[in-house]
A and B are shown apart, each in its own frame.
Chain A
Amino acid sequence: MNNMHHPLAKYLRPGAEVTTACPGCGDGMIAQSVLRAIDEMDIDIDSFVFVCGIGCAGWIPSPYFNADTLHTTHGRPIAFATGVKLAKPDRRVMVISGDGDLSAIGGNHLIHAARRNLDITVLCANNGIYGMTGGQVAPTTPQHMRTATTPYGNPEPPFNLCKLVEAAGATYVARWTAAHPRFVTRAVRQALNHEGFAFIEVMSQCPVHFGKWSERGGAVDLLEDLKNRSVTLRQEKRLSEEEMKDQWVVGELITEDTIKISD
């Protein structure tokens, strides 16, 4: 028994092995997917600078990943990462943060880093709600859903983050869910090999807050729900706008190949 250890535990900061995530949270699955990609690619974790903002997803790398880590102010990790990458281009700079941090308070930095095609990887854990503060509406919350600050239902439509960064100029864009850990790992590998601005959106479950307010159930129900709402690019072509209303497309949405075709 003493000889058993998690194959990715070697990447964790000694003394920071106890997770702060709620039971059933998707953040642990995302952390594993990222570390597995680094492990499969056999990259020295010391070649990274992980940058994160405020919110649950900011605690995916901080303090757990045993590498240089910059845990910034709310909304600003991409702006901090811009300084790190430009001043030390030989570093692999990876931003891991949440939908509220990256697309609400930090939305401006997100689109400008995409426009610059800055050579960093941004992984957005999108749980559709503000988890750390207790379940308030986010710019990614489904329309009409009740939350702590939309007791009569959310009057606003959510962002499509992948379309947003695509329009802004991102050169690698992928969307998966926490129910697709192997695909998330593959996307992280692609993103790390990609030269330019890479954006990965991982739709993720928050059973404690999103699960409660959406009445979509616990962690397992939410993972099932994430899978059911995911359609491939090919499936999307056969679906009407109405049928796509509560679905999202998963896969590699923008790659070097798609850019070449559109050019």
Chain B
Amino acid sequence: MPEAALKPGRYFMQGNVACAEGALAAGCRFFAGYPITPATEIAEHMALRLPEFDGVYIQMEDEIGSIASVIGAAWTGALAMTATSGPGMSLMQENIGYAVGTETPCVIVDVQRGGPSTGIPAVPMQGDMVQVRRGSHGDYESIAFAPASAQEMFDLTVRAFNMAEQVRTPVFVMADAALGHMREPVEIPEPNTVPKIRRKLPDPKTDPQEIQGFLDEDVAPMPIFGHGFKAHVTGSCHDERGMRNVVDAQALDGFVRTLTRKVEKQREALIQVESEETEDAEVVLLGYGMVGRAAKAIAQEARQTGLRVGSLRPITVWPFADREIQTLCENAKRVMVMENNLGQMLPYVQAAVNADVISLPPQVLGTLHRPQEVLERIQEVIS
């Protein structure tokens, strides 16, 4: 139904709305959610817009139900998503592990707010960055992108769907309250120029007994429901046919390693890092999401005063771009990790680079870094 898509052009749009429009442009036709500040506008916009695409919106009884019904819808072949914030993310963790274990493509948007616990709903924080990496029990790899503008709320939501379909796993969009609520110009592309990757399906002529629909490092075809594939989908340890094996440690080893390697093998397609003037930089400011924007602006300001400062913004936060960051920081003496938290990604940067790594949260958590303070720190470390 292309007439439902927005006309291409420049719009003044809220970040959360841009995210929802990105989902629709990518082909999302199922949304389940539960109201939560600061993510609610995504649900509201999907409730308004999905019927125009013959899609389904449902407000579930909680976030556990939201992610559960998203996974159920994904198994019918739909592109499905949910959006929430920290408390909802915490509730979803068990079923996120289920989506990983059953190789269910879906998109989960986390518009982060101040935490722990109820925290402050409308104040931005980057408090869920490590939770999204390892929040569910067991051992697994995550894929997460961190947008820095309303435009990227659109673009990276499209990309999240495409990568979810390509890798057959949940993909996270890690926004925050400022980004979700901010209004900015957004360029909406021609609908048929939006890239659309779709999951592999088994050959419909295959004997259901022969379908190997799980545990392939190169991503198995997904035996979606309703096509006579007789899929057996279980969160229990299973084999390539989906058949449960809960007695054999060797089977568990294969289950965990194959799912992990599957993501690692897609690393090239997944990793995106933006950098500016890092080649000769003495100091590199590293930040992701909204903070990455501040890092870039402050580095430019420092250059104007003659300081050799560069900036680096991981757009893909998981898998962690350690090799790329190492290369970009090769000549740097110091890397300042700017995060709106007390150093969640810091240990990963420390492990990746040879330079001195300094943690630089904003002076007041939940607010933007003040350029003057950062510039003073730069001058301190350079002199």
Q: Which of A158-174 contact B (CB under 8 A)?
A: none
Take A73-B94, A87-B73 as given contacts and tell me if A82 and B243 are in contact as well, using a CB distance cutoff of 8 Å.
no
Question: Chain B contacts of A85 at CB under 8 A?
Answer: 72
Take A68-B225, A87-B30, A88-B225 as given contacts and tell me if A79 and B65 are in contact as well, using a CB distance cutoff of 8 Å.
yes
Contact between chains at B30 and A16 (CB < 8 Å): no
State A192–B32 Cα separation when bound (angstroms). 26
Question: Chain A contacts of B173 at CB under 8 A?
Answer: none
Take A68-B231, A86-B30, A109-B61 as given contacts and tell me if A76 and B73 are in contact as well, using a CB distance cutoff of 8 Å.
no
Contact between chains at A91 and B225 (CB < 8 Å): yes
Number of A-B contacts (CB under 8 A): 121
Binds A, one of B17-25, B75-83, B195-203: B75-83
A80 closest partner in B (C-beta): B72
Q: Which of A40-89 contact B (CB under 8 A)?
A: 46, 49, 51, 62-63, 66-73, 76, 79-88
Question: Chain A contacts of B229 at CB under 8 A?
Answer: 68
Contact of B80 among A49, A87, A91 (CB under 8 A): A87
B233 closest partner in A (C-beta): A70
Q: Cβ of B331 < 8 Å from any Cβ of A?
A: no
Q: Cβ of A13 < 8 Å from any Cβ of B?
A: yes
Q: Which label, helix, strand, loop or mixed, suits the secondary structure of the B interface?
A: mixed
State A3–B228 Cα separation when bound (angstroms). 28
Q: Cβ of B232 < 8 Å from any Cβ of A?
A: yes
Q: Cβ of A241 < 8 Å from any Cβ of B?
A: no
Contact of B95 among A46, A51, A73, A108 (CB under 8 A): A73
State A199–B311 Cα separation when bound (angstroms). 59
Q: Cβ of A257 < 8 Å from any Cβ of B?
A: no
Please tell me the number of chain B residues within 8 Å of chain A, measured between CB atoms.
Answer: 40
Q: Cβ of B58 < 8 Å from any Cβ of A?
A: yes
Contact of B73 among A51, A69, A84, A90 (CB under 8 A): A84
Contact of B64 among A70, A76, A86 (CB under 8 A): A76
Question: Chain B contacts of A84 at CB under 8 A?
Answer: 72-73, 75-76, 225
State A90–B71 Cα separation when bound (angstroms). 18
Contact of B65 among A49, A51, A76, A86 (CB under 8 A): A76
B223 closest partner in A (C-beta): A68
State A13–B208 Cα separation when bound (angstroms). 10
Take A82-B60, A108-B62 as given contacts and tell me if A69 and B76 are in contact as well, using a CB distance cutoff of 8 Å.
no
Contact between chains at A91 and B233 (CB < 8 Å): no
Please tell me the number of chain A residues within 8 Å of chain B, measured between CB atoms.
Answer: 33
Instruction: Report the minimal beta-carbon distance from A91 to chain B, rounded to whole angstroms.
Output: 6
Contact between chains at A90 and B72 (CB < 8 Å): no
Instruction: Report the minimal beta-carbon distance from B205 to chain A, rounded to whole angstroms.
Output: 15
Q: Cβ of A189 < 8 Å from any Cβ of B?
A: no
Instruction: Report the minimal beta-carbon distance from B203 to chain A, rounded to whole angstroms.
Output: 17
Contact between chains at A79 and B233 (CB < 8 Å): no
State A86–B56 Cα separation when bound (angstroms). 7
Contact between chains at B225 and A72 (CB < 8 Å): no
Question: Chain A contacts of B69 at CB under 8 A?
Answer: 79-80, 82-83, 86
Q: Which of B64-107 contact A (CB under 8 A)?
A: 64-65, 68-78, 80, 94-95, 98
Q: Cβ of A186 < 8 Å from any Cβ of B?
A: no
Contact of B232 among A62, A73, A79, A82 (CB under 8 A): A62
Question: Chain A contacts of B30 at CB under 8 A?
Answer: 83, 86-87
- Return 12 A-B CB contacts under 8 Å, by A number: A13-B230, A66-B230, A68-B230, A73-B94, A79-B64, A79-B72, A80-B68, A83-B80, A87-B29, A87-B73, A88-B78, A112-B65
